[in-house]
Amino acid sequence: MIQTVRGVHDILPDAIPLWQFLEARALAIFGQYGFEEIRTPLFEKTELFARAVGATTDIVEKEMYTFSDRGGDSLSLRPEGTASVVRAFVQQSMHRQLPWKVWYRGPMFRYERPQKGRQRQFHQIGCELFGPEDPLADAELLAMVMRYLTDIGLQTSLVLEINSLGCPDCRPPYRDLLIAFLRQTASHLCDDCQNRMERNPLRVLDCKQERCRAAIATAPVMIDHLCPGCTHHFSRLKGHLEDLERPFRINPHMVRGLDYYNRTAFEVTSVGLGAQNAVAAGGRYDGLVAQMGGTPTPAIGFAMGMERLALLLDQGKNRPAPPDVYLAPLGEQAEQAGLKLAETLRAQGLAVTLNLGGGSLKSQMKRAGRSQARFALMIGEAELEKNVVILKEMALGQQQEIRHSEVPGFLVNTCRTISVGDGHR
């Protein structure tokens, strides 16, 4: 038997209503803020990620699915969404139509050690906003993330953490300061951190190892070394969040795994997930568009892991929406009539499950019960001859004969409220 690749999973029909719900709420809420959806390719030139994400990041060094195609080009499955969106921004000259607000959803690929809520093919919903440098944009984006997460049902357990990562003016001197500090404490750091402290010292602040956390407790932090411009930006962001009465926490050790972030960085965590608890993460990347060859354009964005959201929300309460009608035909001729009737009802907007695979009336009614349909329609030879069907309202157990031609009108009237795509709620 051939099985899925390690760390890669089917999303089975039972889980789909929750996923559709997460996507439908993204469409609705991001739309309220003027974001439109974009769909970028699942694979790109490897060079795109090396340049955008950073050649020295774990993602590019160790985690990408990279391959040569038959023409000899090096391609990679996308490990995240921002690089492709920035590429599209530059390629389509979107700097002429600022602000450009887009959101995306879909699978990303990283060769990581699989664990609960972390997979090698995982799914993200993310937003990118190009144009404004003003912290008003940061505040509005944060308000949008929080509105989304609250709306889907996570309100009680959310914590918003923010930090400033400085800019090309103030980060290099801070970086030197940090490296000097790390050199003195190097013997207390884990192997990973000793390796990366010169190349990517900020990541040391983010290390989950206990010994590193202890060692960097007194390390200098970026927010104490911001230039006046960054200080002003950060304090205005804090002011806007206070105005909006959005509680937040400043986490001076928060860094981003990707090189391109500057100034505002943020994470939303949920207490329900233990150590692996970030449900949304993002920040500013004002220099990336220029770095990718575009007209310099500030930008800010974030991404959310759908597997984690699904884990947090999945209390086993999400069920697919039951059909309006379970259609139970008895015998070949009735099946033929049933097939036609089912199509007629679907054309009227009803959800109809046609019994497949025959069976006695008793077994068909058992399946009708399991489907949780509101009505069952039974057609046998006697009914065919009289041109009627038997309609049963399942919850009441009441049944009546009804003329075949009157079935659509009757059912459409009684099932007028047809729910499309909100099976989760």
Q: Give whichever of 164 and 269 is closer to Zn ion, judged by the CB atom.
A: 164
- Give per-residue burial for 47-76: e unless 16+ CB within 10 Å, then b: ebbbbbbbeebbbbeebbebeeeeeeeebb
CB nearer to Zn ion: give 227 or 412.
227
Nearest residue (CB) to Zn ion, 262 versus 353: 262
Shortest approach of Zn ion to residue 288 CB, angstroms? 16
> Torsion angle, CA of 206/209/210/214, rounded to 10 degrees?
-40
Window 173-212: residues binding Zn ion (CB under 5 A): 190, 193, 207, 209, 212
d(CA 254, CA 223): 11
Which residue, 225 or 404, is less far from Zn ion as judged by CB? Answer: 225
Nearer to Zn ion, 213 or 386 (CB): 213
- Stretch of 85-93, 106-114, 147-155, 158-166 contacting Zn ion, by CB under 5 A: 158-166
Position among 166, 294, 298, 338 found at the interface with Zn ion (CB under 5 A): 166
**In the sheet that 158-164 helps form, which strands lie side by side, from edge to edge?**
36-37, 100-109, 121-130, 299-305, 278-284, 262-270, 158-164, 249-250
C-beta of 26 vs 207, nearer to Zn ion:
207
Residues binding Zn ion: number (CB under 5 A): 11
| Integer Cα distance of 257 and 54 in angstroms | 10
Give me the residue label for tokens 């039951």. Answer: 322
Please list the residues that pair with 378 across neighbouring strands: 328, 390
Nearer to Zn ion, 194 or 399 (CB): 194
At 387, phi and psi to the nearest 5? 65, 40
Looking up tokens 């900020």, which residue turns up? 202
Interface residue with Zn ion among 26, 145, 165, 167 (CB under 5 A) is 167
**8 binds Zn ion per the rule CB under 5 A:** no
In whole angstroms, the minimum distance from the beta carbon of 218 to Zn ion comes to 16
Q: Is 318 left (phi over 0), alpha (psi -120 to 50) or beta?
A: beta
Compute the least distance from the CB of residue 262 to Zn ion, in Å.
8
Could you count the other beta carbons within 10 Å of the beta carbon of residue 92? 12
Task: Pick from 14, 169, 343, 406 the residue near Zn ion by CB under 5 A.
Answer: 169
Nearest Cα neighbor of 104 from 41, 10, 190, 18 is 41
Closest contact distance (angstroms) between CB of 264 and Zn ion is 12
Binding map of Zn ion across residues 109-148, x = CB under 5 A, - = no contact: ----------------------------------------
175: Cα separation from own chain's centroid: 33
Whichever of 166 and 338 has its CB closer to Zn ion, that residue is 166
User: Closest distance between Zn ion and the C-beta of residue 219, in Å?
Assistant: 12
Which of 85, 145, 170, 197 is close enough to bind Zn ion by CB under 5 A? 170
Residue 147, SS3?
helix
Closest listed residue to residue 172, CA positions, set 180, 163, 162, 184: 180
Q: Which of residues 208-247 bind Zn ion (CB under 5 A)?
A: 209, 212, 227, 230
- Give me the residues that bind Zn ion (CB under 5 A), please: 166-167, 169-170, 190, 193, 207, 209, 212, 227, 230
